[in-house]
Amino acid sequence: MAEAGENPLASSEVERPPVSLSKADGAAAPRAGAATPLGKNGNKDYVPGAVRRNRAYGFILALFVFIADQATKWVVTFPLDLQFRREIEILPFFDLRWVENRGVSMGFLTASNETTRWLLVALTTAIALFVAIWLWREKRRDDAWGLALVLGGALGNIVDRIRFGYVVDFADLHFGEWRPFLVFNVADAAITIGVLLLLLRALLTRKEKPLKEGNT
């Protein structure tokens, strides 16, 4: 028995029963060095289903643009013989006009010889590869669609340049004598629309950031 004035807790140790964790109480913490199973949130290589769908839809859209571009070029080249007829009037503001474009989209960076032709092929192939990698990693659907349009159009024009040494352009949009664009093709239109979508998305993102910072 403890003497008067003496703290009983200081003179003797209080025994506590050992605590055991049951299944109802929850699992014990893993030992140091023990392997922890990786789940959806723990696996750094896990890709959410929505991202995989956006990626798949993007490459499908790129393939569709490529097929549409090559199909229209085949129609104007062979069934319509546009390279011999040179021009076919379709509407008062739209004609089919044969143009051999030895540059990139919309006639820029013209290749004047075989060396510059293959340098241009290498350059556009590198750009297409970069866009394909970007599309593979892109998580946003709208950006993925813009990249898909650029990729499909770039591949269509690259195939032309490898096969013929030039890109087949045929779409001539005009209003009287005024032409808002050079003669173009499906690939050029897809590239232009894709770039505009990416630029619009970038501008909207820049406008959203100051608003979020001001609300914090």
Q: What is the pLDDT of residue 124?
A: 94
H or E segment and range at residue 68: helix 49-77
Mean pLDDT, rounded, for 189-201:
95
Residue 129: CB atoms within 10 A of its CB come to: 12
Which of the 8 DSSP states describes residue 106?
A: G
Lowest mean pLDDT among 93-97, 112-116, 158-162, 187-191: 112-116
Q: How confident is the model at residue 107 (pLDDT cuts 50, 70, 90)?
A: low
Its sign, for the CA torsion 154, 155, 160, 162, is positive
Q: What angle do CA 54, 70, 188 make, to 5 degrees?
A: 70
Query: Band of the pLDDT at 41, cuts 50, 70, 90?
Result: low
Our CA angle for 86, 91, 93, nearest 5°, is: 90
169 a catalytic residue: yes
Rg (CA), the chain: 32
pLDDT of residue 50: 81
Q: What pLDDT score does 108 carry?
A: 64
Give the model's pLDDT for residue 204: 87
Residues 51, 139 contacting (CB under 8 angstroms):
yes
> Of 69, 160, 169, 172, which one is the catalytic site residue?
169
pLDDT of residue 66: 98
User: Which pTM does this prediction carry?
Assistant: 0.74
**Percent of the chain having pLDDT more than 90?**
59
pLDDT of the residue at 169:
96
Confidence of residue 39 (pLDDT cuts 50, 70, 90): very low
List b or e across 164-198, with b for residues whose CB sees 16 or more CB atoms inside 10 angstroms.
Answer: eebbbbbbbbeeeeeeeebbbbbbbbbbbbbbebb
